[in-house]
A and B are shown apart, each in its own frame.
Chain A
Amino acid sequence: MREQQLQTILQHMPAGIVTLLGPELRYGFVNEAMQALLGGHTPEGEPLAAHPGPLTADIREVMGQVYESGVSYVAKAFPLPLTEPETGQVVPRYFDLALEPLHDDHDQSLGLLVFAVDVTAQEEARQRAHTLSLETRRLDARLRVLTETAPQITFTMDAAGRYEYVSPQWYYFTGQPPTADLNAIWPLLIHPDDRLRVLYQSEVARTNGVGWTYEYRLRRHDGQYRWVLSRALPELHAPDKPVFWHGAVTEVHDQRELAEALRRGEEELRFLADSIPQLIWTASAAGFIDYYNQHTAEYSGLSPKELGPTGWVSLLEPAEQALAARRWVQSVATGQEYEGLCQMRRHDGQYRWHIIRARQLADARGLRWFGACTDVDDQYRLRQVLQTQYDELARTNRDLDTFVYTASHDLKQPLFNLRGLFDELRRTATFTDPEQGDLLQMVDQALGQLDGTLHELAATVQQQRELAAPTEQLDLRSVAEEVLLGLRAQVEEVQATIELDMGAAPTLLYGRANLRSVLHNLISNALKFAHPERAPLIVLRSSLSDSGQPLLTVQDNGLGMSLDTEIAAEAVPALHTFERQHPHVAGAGVGLYLVQRIIDSRGGHLVVNSTVGEGTTFSVQWFE
């Protein structure tokens, strides 16, 4: 009965049991679990070798050896491919196979008891753990590589402020030997000016259990202090206080230098802008002012905030505001320079004239406007005063011209009457004194001169009005021929020969009436001062001076003038005084004065060279 029970228990045990008997290891008892394990075909009394099931040759050989030696053996986690009864799939499973030799009472080998326990779950867990540990090791290695190749020093510090770990970069950077005492050396490598601050900040952060970020100068292997950024965060194991701080030290020297240079540059520009006694401002691309200099606040009495992005317009004279605003919108739209003359209100309410000028600058940082308002009030008012005086002078001058013209015109009639009366007197009266004939001739002559002078005075005023006449390209020869046509009577009277040599510079850009007047006066002057003993020869020559400017010379072989040759160039202004060089020759000297005026007003000058008894040469430098 107990035998039967034991049989049943063994049969249904979750572990597999099989007895293999004799040297051939013939199947004996096989329980259900083992039956499933061995593939179901285990005929009692048949040798294992004939029906091995999934048992491979190596395990069967081990079984034989255990039978031979009588020493038990356990094959740990032995893989056996099993077929799932439902799906028919083959899945690997792992078993601990205990091989126990069976003996009879006389210690003779009977066979083997094989005990199989399924350890698949344990084995899989072990394998997973193994894979995980491999992965962990790989990640650890990667982290180490990352930590030790990144261009920064990483460190771990404990709550007492002692370094637990520092990456090799620290040694590279500082040039310290690997044996250096980190805790003693590190503070010494911090720049003396930064040391106390750094140690204090680190201490405070550790006491409060928070991270830190600060910059300081750390001594490099070459002795240079370089700016570094130290950042660290506490490792938190709530609810306990942090035990470690992990952090990194990054070199930021170049960035910091650059930022510093930029900041200094900007500061200097600001200082410059603030020091200039002008209103300076900058505006965004959209036209909103984002900076006013110090002087703007001083001038307007308003802070940049009070002025706001468009407040400048409210400083203008109210009547000018709308137009200025419209023009600014337009400048912003087109990018064209803004320029204007406006009155701007000072803090005391006085409006002063300013030139406003703004230009656009486009660079890598985008588009911006830079503007300046320059106080030109004093200049503006001075200009107004000058303008008033100029207007007054011009009017006076005009009045004078009118007076001269009117006077000469008004005197003509009495002169005409005088001549008529005189002719009448000569016709009706009889003169007995023989000298009276000369007297009569002298009166005639004086009357003629008076007539000429009046005529020329009128012509002067007339010319004065034509000075501003427009210029045109003139052919010198044809203008000269026109003039000679007008002087034909005088030329014929003295039998003069006139030569025109205009080949070197045939044309001239000048006022037509002016040129005619110059030629007329110079030629008639030469004709008037002809030498009584020889036929007059007048040569007009147009040429280019050394500096490439047009030049006209009028040369005669007449009486000549008594000029000191040294002051020849300055002599001409003396003609202003209407000085008569040759009292016996008809003419008032007004003609040359006129020539002088015309040439001066066009930016040239007149030079005269003369030798008494030989002739005179006038040189007209048309332009300086």
Chain B
Amino acid sequence: MNHIVYMSRAVRPLSDQDLKELLDQCRRDNALHEVTGILFYSHGHIAQLIEGEPSIIDPLYEKIAADGRHSHVMQLANKPISARSFSDWSMAFHPLEAEGFKTLEGFFLPHQVPQTPETLTIADALIVDLVRQAVFGPQQDTLV
């Protein structure tokens, strides 16, 4: 079991429709291949963590990195983990029209994202906290 974390920039801003399609498609595909994790999106900034068997997620990452919709793909981690920290695959972003999204499965508003799982090592949790901050900006509770 491995996990991969990367950050990237969208080539053009993603619309609500783009995001919804991405959510639907990825949830379907990822569930099929037992890939779990979370994707953060805001103002063209993308960060994603995926967990799964290396034989699945390595080619998946190759495919993601080659996707023309984003650039500046920077891999931050690709390493073995003892167990999954995410039960499914979900996405967090700010839709322009929040109405249609509230009821969607696997969707969070950025401030509703659950705390970084305790099952991650502190170094890995730090990666997740930093990418979350890089995508969504500082969280209120970190600004003392």
Interface residues of A (CB under 8 A from B): 286-288, 308-311, 313-314, 321-322, 325-326, 328-330, 332-334
Contacts and interface: CB of A to CB of B under 8 A. Distances in A.
B123 interface: yes
A310 B124 contact: yes
Interface stretch (B17-25, B54-62, B131-139): B131-139
B76 A288 contact: yes
Interface of B: 7, 76-77, 79, 121-127, 129-131, 133-134, 138-139, 142-144
A314 B121 contact: yes
B142 A333 contact: yes
Given A309-B127, A310-B123, A333-B139, 13 more contacts: A286-B131, A287-B130, A287-B133, A308-B123, A310-B126, A310-B127, A314-B121, A314-B123, A321-B122, A325-B123, A329-B130, A333-B133, A333-B138
A286 B122 contact: no
29 contacts: A286-B130, A286-B131, A286-B133, A286-B134, A287-B130, A288-B76, A288-B127, A308-B76, A308-B77, A308-B123, A308-B127, A310-B124, A310-B126, A310-B127, A311-B123, A313-B122, A313-B123, A314-B122, A321-B122, A325-B125, A325-B126, A329-B129, A329-B130, A330-B142, A330-B144, A333-B133, A333-B143, A334-B138, A334-B143
A465 to B, nearest CB: 40
B133 A309 contact: no
Nearest to A314: B123
B130 A288 contact: yes
Contact of B7 (A286, A311, A313, A325): A286
Contacts of B131: 286
Contact of B76 (A309, A328, A329): A309
B120 to A, nearest CB: 11
Contacts of A308: 76-77, 79, 123, 127
B72 to A, nearest CB: 12
A286 B8 CA distance: 12
Contacts of B138: 333-334
A327 to B, nearest CB: 10
Contacts of A309: 76-77, 127
A222 to B, nearest CB: 44
Q: Is the interface of A mostly helix, strand, loop or mixed?
A: helix
| B76, B79, B126, B143: residue with the most chain A Cβ atoms closer than 10 Å | B126
B122 A325 contact: yes
A326 B139 CA distance: 12
A313 B121 CA distance: 10
A302 to B, nearest CB: 11
A326 B122 CA distance: 10
Contacts of B77: 308-309
Contact of A329 (B7, B121, B124, B142): B142
Contacts of B121: 314
A287 B128 CA distance: 11
A328 B134 CA distance: 13
Nearest to A318: B122
Given A333-B133, A334-B138, A313 B126 contact: yes
A314 B139 CA distance: 24
A309 B5 CA distance: 11
A330 to B, nearest CB: 5
Contacts of A334: 138, 143
Rank and list the top 5 A-B pairs by shortest CB-CB distance, nearest first: A333-B138, A286-B134, A310-B126, A321-B122, A325-B126
A288 B132 CA distance: 12
A325 to B, nearest CB: 4
B126 A329 contact: yes
Contact of B122 (A287, A322, A330, A333): A322
Contacts of B124: 310
A347 to B, nearest CB: 17
Contacts of B123: 308, 310-311, 313-314, 325
Contacts of A313: 122-123, 126
A164 to B, nearest CB: 43
Contacts of A314: 121-123
A308 B139 CA distance: 24
B144 to A, nearest CB: 7
A309 B128 CA distance: 11
A313 B133 CA distance: 18
Contacts of A332: 130, 133
